Amino acid sequence: MGEDQYKWGVVIVACLAVFIIVLDSSAMNVAITALVKDLNTTLSMIQAIIALYALIIASFMLLGSKLQDILGRKKTFLTGLFIYASGTTIATLSINAPMLLLGWAVLEGIGAALMLPATTTIVGASYEGKDKITAFGIWGGIAAMGAAIGPIVGGVFTTYFTWRLVFGSELIFVAAILIFRRYLTESQPTLKWKDLDVVGTILSIVSLVLIVLGILLLSKPQNWAYVSVLVVSGSILFVLFLLWQRRRINQGLEPLSDISLLKNRIFGLGNINSVIQQIPLAGFLFIIPVFLQQVTHLDAFMTGLALLPASITILVFSLLGAKLSSRLDPKYILMIGFLVSALGTWILGGTFNINTQIADIVPGTIVFGVGVGLLLSQLTNLTMSAARSDQESDAAGFLNAFKNLGYSMGTALIGVLLLLGVFWGLTSSIESSGLAGNMTTQEIHDSLFDYVEKMQTTSPENIPANLVPQVTQMVDSTISSAMQMTFNVLALIFFLGFVTSIFIPSRKKTTKLIR
């Protein structure tokens, strides 16, 4: 009995860590209006912080993975835990957006980047056979649970107490992890600090940061001159990173990450599908609360309640999907998952208008949740199964880096698509409304776009009081149209995932190759 408790104790500790990391984004998405108002900031700034949180995790993930070989898995995990705890403390006490950015995006992001790959390798090294499949199923299920209850937790805290409690409550989980840390198994360091690829570390971090920052700048046309410079520079640096890794391998030096893994068809396509799946999921979790709070004027709790059917469905089907894989090839579960997710987002795209209520979006969110749950149940185990035991640290680093990069890109890209839809929609609406009186069309446009950026928490500047109801309806209608367009894009992204999953080798073919 004691042995079983120790065995599953490893999963418990790993899941506590994954839970708080996932909880942040899902819980804080419903607090967007409160964050904009309390910190005197804008929707774009909160979008940037959410995107940068996932981006920092992705950017430091390969370093966090490699540190396991230098410090050992347990020590790396606990180091990340202390950095994370310092970040969540700062986030709890934030008085402005830069302070929240430092605590949440930077410090929590770095801490999570050290913890996440360690949880993957600790779980992978602690179990064999069916136990490993079960353990990863629980690991993925708890991550889904964090996403599932996050909106409700964030909604309750934000509406009835304060959003700061979302961060503050995580310190309880940090304390629990420290209490149960004895369950974690340590690995012996296989490298020394001098073996760390410093150049590769810098190239990987800077390249990803530049790419996502370029996407974020798309939200305002006046910044478009910098977008191509950032994205192209980031892409070039990432290519240089890959070439640098190959050079170190050819010279017999320790690379930051074993890029030969990317040549493995299952591993490569698994990571591509992880990115594709994360982009629309992140976009969904970001823009649904924006719509519900701006157009339907729901509070944080009701927003969380509106997301609950999707969250529960994702959780249930991520657990069912793990069991389903024993009867059906994971490849086909992924294909079904992508198609069902695409159907859900397409259904949702047709539900948004100025009269939309919670009940209108529930059917689409449930279908969406079924598809995403199936995807989450398969991707981690399928991708990690392609790595040898001596490649598990590198594989975990790549997998978690790509997943978080996808989430960051999703928040940035889909949020930008929504804002651009609003930006251009306002232009045509103003021209056809005949509002321009003593103000120019551009002045009215800028005033209304700032109104959207402030989540309608203030009155639109320079707009006569008698025209406020008219322009508010115009803004709501524009946001609704932008939502329809954005969700159609989400459906296309999911369909792209269906196409790429076709090329994943089936289980039978994989077995023949191994033989």
The CB density around residue 354, as the number of other CB atoms within 10 Å, is 16
- The pLDDT assigned to 10 comes to 80
Neighbours of 360 (CB within 10 A): 15
Q: In the prediction, which pLDDT does 232 show?
A: 95
Which carries the bigger pLDDT value, residue 445 or residue 214? 214
Question: Looking at residues 407-420, what average pLDDT do you find?
Answer: 89
Helices (H) and strands (E) in the chain, counts: 18, 0
46-117-155 Cα angle (round to 5): 35
Give the pLDDT of residue 170: 93
Helix axes 330-349, 468-501, angle to 10 degrees: 160
Mean pLDDT score of the chain: 86
Tell me, what's the pLDDT at 263? 86
Task: Tell me the per-residue pLDDT of 149-190, one tens digit each, with 9 for 90 and over.
Answer: 889 999 999 999 999 999 999 999 999 999 888 888 777 777
CB atoms within 10 A of CB 425: 19
pLDDT at 427 (0 to 100): 75
What is the mean predicted confidence (pLDDT) over 49-53? 92
Average pLDDT over residues 311-316: 86
Stated as kind and residue range, the H or E segment containing 114 is helix 109-126
pLDDT of residue 436: 57
> Residue 250 is encoded by which pair of tokens?
């050819």
Which of the residue ranges 19-33, 213-227, 387-401 would you say has the lowest mean pLDDT? 387-401
Q: Report residue 2's pLDDT band, with 50, 70 and 90 as the boundaries.
A: very low
The one-letter amino acid code at 154 reads G
Whether the per-residue pLDDT at 508 is higher than 90: the answer is no
Note the pLDDT of residue 117.
Answer: 80
Query: Considering only 67-81, 113-127, 224-238, which range has the smallest mean pLDDT?
Result: 113-127
Residue 72, pLDDT > 90, answer no
Q: What is the DSSP letter of 161?
A: S
Least confident of 147-161, 312-326, 344-358, 398-412: 312-326
Q: Which two tokens stand for residue 434?
A: 């005949």
Q: What is the 3-state secondary structure (H, E, C) of 421-433?
A: HHHHHHHHHHHHH
For residue 302 the two structure tokens come to 């009701």
Q: What is the mean pLDDT of residues 232-242?
A: 95
Residue 331 pLDDT exceeds 50: yes
In this predicted structure, what is the pLDDT of residue 514? Answer: 39
| Token couple for 40 | 């005197």
SS3 363: helix
Cβ 117 vs Cβ 393: under 8 Å: yes
What pLDDT score does 366 carry?
Answer: 96
Phi-psi region of 162 (alpha: psi -120 to 50; beta: other; left: phi over 0): beta
Query: So what's the pLDDT on residue 243?
Result: 94
Radius of gyration of the chain (CA): 23
Q: Is the pLDDT of residue 362 over 50?
A: yes
- What does DSSP assign to residue 184? S
